[in-house]
């Protein structure tokens, strides 16, 4: 009986490990580990302890598998991007006999990502209102009494700052 239970647990763990993907490998590892641990624990008389240990080991194994899958995917994406960049460097040249030859453009150089400092300008308005006394005066046949008037005195300055900007990898 114990060997049959162990065989079922091993088959369950093996079948579930085939379903690994970046999204569910930790969960699958935990379930598979619990099944195997319960089977081994049943052989030694304590299936609950075996399942508990199996869950821990399966979760760690699943997380490691997930990390490996994600790293592999990132490497493939980086390789694909590099191939696309290299294709952009090639020029098609027609020889005298009419056959097309691919020649790499030696004028372009690869520039790694880096920070650049860019000047950022902003107008700071410091205009202010000033109260001015206007003397009494006569315009035509109309008399204007002396009064205060608010006048805007324009002023301001440019605030220039350096801003740090990230420039990604590119060819120049």
Q: How confident is the model at residue 93 (pLDDT cuts 50, 70, 90)?
A: very low
**Short-list 60, 68, 71, 75, CA closest to 26:** 60
Please check the confidence at residue 34 and state whether its pLDDT lies above 50: yes
Of 12-21, 53-62, 85-94, 135-144, the poorest mean pLDDT is in 12-21
Averaged pLDDT of the chain: 78
């Amino acid at each position: 009986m114990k060997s049959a239970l162990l065989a079922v647990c091993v088959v369950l763990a093996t079948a579930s490990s085939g379903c690994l993907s970046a999204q569910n490998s930790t969960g699958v590892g935990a379930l598979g580990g619990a099944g195997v641990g319960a089977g081994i624990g049943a052989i030694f008389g304590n299936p609950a302890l075996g399942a508990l240990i199996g869950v821990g080991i399966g979760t760690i194994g699943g997380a490691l598998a997930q990390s490996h899958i994600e790293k592999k995917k990132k490497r493939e994406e980086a390789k694909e991007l590099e191939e696309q960049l290299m294709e952009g460097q090639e020029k098609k040249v027609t020889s005298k006999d009419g056959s097309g030859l691919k020649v790499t453009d030696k004028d372009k150089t690869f520039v790694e990502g880096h920070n650049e400092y860019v000047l950022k300008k902003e107008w700071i308005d410091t205009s202010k209102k000033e109260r001015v006394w206007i003397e009494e005066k006569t315009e035509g046949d109309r008399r204007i009494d002396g009064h205060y008037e608010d006048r805007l005195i324009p002023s301001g300055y440019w605030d220039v700052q350096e801003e740090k900007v990230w420039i990604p990898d590119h060819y120049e």
